[in-house]
Structure 1
Amino acid sequence: MADSVFLDEVVGFLHNIDDPTVSGADLLLSLDKEEPLLSLPDTDIALQLLDVSPIDDGLFTSSEDDHHSAATDSDCTSVETESVASVSSPRTTEVTVDNNIRSKDAIRRRSYRQKRKVEKAELYKEVEQLSNQLSELQSREEAIKARRGLGLAQTALWKALANRHLQARLMAEEQQRRLREAVERRSAVIKDLGVVIRKRISEEQHDVDRAYSPSKKPRIESPDMALYETFINELDEVYARTDSIFKEAGVQDSPNDDELYNDARAVSKKSNYHELTGKMTTPFPFDRVRAFVGEVKCMEQRANYERIQLPGVSDNTAVVKFRIQARVGNAVGSLVQHAITRRYYEEDRIVLIWRKFTEGEGVYAGMHSDETGWNIVRPSSDGAATVMESIIRYVPMSFNTVASPSGKLNEFTDTIISAGEEDCHACLQKLEALLLDDALGVC
């Protein structure tokens, strides 16, 4: 702002120099408004160069002094006239000298004015340059302010994008970590299964050798302990997935509750498992079902039923082993199943989780199945009855040690599913029998 005012004053001064109506005294007064230049000692010299008379108190004297000066000048003129004849020669010399002085003064004033004009032109040029520089600086400052505002907005945007990418990366890393843990657990299961299979083969070989070596001592430690420990360690993780599994399958929204199991639900072609879902309602109240559900012993009707006692296992966890006989045409096969079940008692429901491993024998030799099951027992919406919902997933496997005919693995899977349905119906019948006896007061 101060630069603009200074430039305006310089332009005004230059215009006053060109204006013939402005006197030299006014021009000098305009140069210094606070302390007039006329009061300086060298002012008379400047006034002579500008052909201007000094301004003093004589300019403001009364008319009487003017008349007196006029009379004095008149007297001097008459005296000079009278003495012209006597002093004509010296007077001529003085006039010549005066003319020379005036001529020199005119030349000096002309040079000074020419110099002032050049300086004025240079000042005009400098004013124009400074004006251009000022405009350029103002434009540059506005551009810098605009860039500053835009830069802040871009910085905030980049921060938001960076935070978003960071969160996505953290989520991806967490998912990768979970997948690695799942792969490690599956690898451990595969290794344990390999150990079980190798020990089973070794056991069968020992049985063959036993016929030729009757004195050989029997094996004391069961080869299935590693499998049982692996499944027991997985039960809590399977229980944690209960709600997500039921939400994915949509069992709770299913209106059909007349049969325990429905047709197998269609799953993705990329999935390597078969899924069976079911829902059933019993008329007994939930509190009575909760009291007797732990007394039901399932799969006891199976051949070679054996309950395995493991150290450090709670009463809510059961480990059993049994055999299922099956006939395929004229051939006979059997299924050896290892089942681990656990009950989780919650405030408003009971969750039953099981893991089951099946080995095929006879016509099913070399075939295996990995099974995971979820069962929820909860009160009905009106509280008068009890609803039981189930989801079972089967993962059939066939090892290359035995070549299986085409379609044999599907028959093996169907046999396992049918056996599972039979076991569940048997458990439900036992539970309803206990509840009915309790309602009738039968000891």
Structure 2
Amino acid sequence: MATPTTFFDELAAFLDQSAVPDVPDVDKHEEVLVTGDDELLLASNELLAETKELLASYETPSTNSQEEDVSSSSVTVESSGKDTQKAASRGKMSAEKRREIRSAQAAKRRLRHRQQLKLERETLKVQATELSSQLQELQTARVQREAKQGGNLMYGAWRAIAVRQLERRVQAEQQQKMLRAELVGNARKIHEMNVQLHDVLQGARETPFGLIEPNSDASGAELFKTMLSELDSHYARTDEVFQGLKFKKAPPGTYDLTRKWQNGVQYLDSTDRMEFPCDFEQTASAMTTIMMSDPGVNIENVESLDVEDAATFKFHAKYQFKPEKFAKVVLYGATRKYQEKDRVVFVWRCFIEGCGKFEGFNSNETMWMVIRSVESDVEGTCGSTVVECYSRMVPMGFGECDEDMDKFLKFLVKMGEEESKEMVEMMEKLLVSEP
């Protein structure tokens, strides 16, 4: 029969064998299952305490009783050990199942987390694309705005340059007009000097006509006012006067005065037509320079007469009808320019008063000059400009005989021819010098 000491040793060994093994860690991130293990340990401790109390109660009884108690205790301990093994098995199975469940839940959480990250990544990609497009639009708008601002600055700079160039061009044109007027005057003076030198060298004049000499007498203001006041009425009759006239093309400088009678009054008239291979503006500008300026004569102050585009002239001319015998005349002239849409009209009034041998003779002249352009018949070529003139002169005199009147008329014709030639020469020089 076993002693109590042996019994306790066997019981301790049995409890050691029936002890619940430690549950290993499955995952570092999962919690250790302790609920089932605590219950099993509590049951083992209660069983051990009951066994100790039972053994203590049987320390004094007889050996038979002890043997019976030991045998019953063995049976009880044996049954308790089986129950403990079953409970440990159930706890172990429950822990494994819980680990599987928790592993599955962790996998689901990781899957949801990955899906959420993927969704966030896609959203960020879409936002990045949208922001990139917005950035590109903003950059493009900024470039366009800067280009526009730069263009505005350049436009302002070019405009300022153009304004300065225009001002310089206007100044240059004004200076050019002044130089042309001076050129005309100098050319006339040179021509006069050449003729005078030629006369001195030859010892005699080839023609009885004397060139124009300036007059220092400033009288004739009232006559100028009267002639200027008549220019507008003569201009209004331009189309009426030119109606029915036949202009024949003649060599430049031709001045053919024809004697005619009307209502018992003798007069001389001339129709001339000149054509220049230049444009309208160029020809009109050159003719304006010739008609409106003459530095070789005294020009009245037109501004004081309150007349625009007008000029007045007064000068002397002499006529040699015998060796060392001359006759002189005084010319009072007034002209005005009328600018129309497609043509330019000049009206010229002139009063010629005889002196010396021609004293008592005078002439009243009116001239209309129309400048217009002519389209070219050949395609691709520039047109020309036509200058049409009609002059009408009414001589009057109380001379000694008709011979003096004939000389006076001859002088007027010759003077007109010389003036016409000079005008053509000046026109050619001005047109050639045009840029």
Query: What TM-score does the superposition give when structure 2 sets the normalisation length?
Result: 0.45
* Higher Rg: 2
Query: What TM-score does the superposition give when structure 1 sets the normalisation length?
Result: 0.44
